[in-house]
Structure 1
């Protein structure tokens, strides 16, 4: 198979080209220029995923241009060479990039985005305010924690102080936390498929704590989840201890 030509662009061309489109430097490296509402001048790398043959695109950073700061052609070539090296090692750069984003997503970031996505369906006039209070105020201790590192104890630390005094509010808070974590799990950025079961196991351990007015503290709520295991693991939501 003939080798693909590399270094098609000159440094001057890379900084002065203004025509929209993808301008190839060879070896998968392109200078992408777009105008209009989605204007951009960016270095990208294109390749086909091993096994599926599907085209993948990853951004390498904003490109340097006339009067515009950014990555030079030389630096873009270094990034492209590193990407080709990872491909030769059997890695998928796009999948690695997604994994890095997932690992860095915090509860607060995801919860805020999730609330925006569902608020159109709220009917009660106070529903948005209640959700906002729970996710921004009551959940403040976990907002900065990465989703993958949230543990059952983190959630119990929010619920336990209010469970005996404002039980209904505590239950609503718990439900909203679970909805956020369920949505994160469905999008592949959550702490793992067993976070709800692990929480319920921890809740069951404190059910024996009773008060004359409230009865059992932290009552376990029955849930029926397809494929859920009967014996939850201990530790973090995904069965792993928090690092």
Structure 2
């Protein structure tokens, strides 16, 4: 066990300035360590499992004399009960560090998701569009929340104000929130079902985007205007004009025209 020493008063402890280990009494093994540069810290010297161990109890005067005595008493009680307070303290600190490492906010997870997937997105602007939409609509509501705490009410608080007026944008934001939360679950930062999932969940709370969005088609070209339009189109330069002419003549969809390759066209057979 630690050295026996006559108990010092709080005033006497405050006057200890000589570098070294000063046992202050009251609790066996309790000492104030004065460092060469003047710093002071509490040390409890005790025997744990047959080995002499020094346990830090915090710096002085942040930890007062009375607080150091109480901490030393608790530690000695644990030793008598067969518990190593030093190992116990290390385990608690390790658990706290692990919890901190897993305590990411939604905004932090969104940034990590974008960095992880940006290289796979063909359009370089896609990452910026992701970031802008989440910063504008999601982060004011849930950005500062720990991702593990994001729930349905937060998702609804993001979507409901824009679902009717900005349906397409709201639908994209919902999908992006869902993907960020799925990523966070896969990485172990949250648990449970995704509150932003659509099928069987939000589709029961919000109208389908197709039922909300008012589709306004472009006016059709009167058939008797078609010959004159085709003449003007044929005279127009550029690949866009040729693509539109091709689409009109073949009735192909615009995506098929833009993505067409020569292997899909047989000029001899006119196919």
Name the TM tier (shorter chain).
0.3 to 0.5
More helix by share: 2
**Structure with larger Rg:** 2
If asked which structure has higher relative contact order (CA below 8 Å, sep 6+), I would say 1
User: Please, what TM-score do these two structures have when normalized by structure 2?
Assistant: 0.43
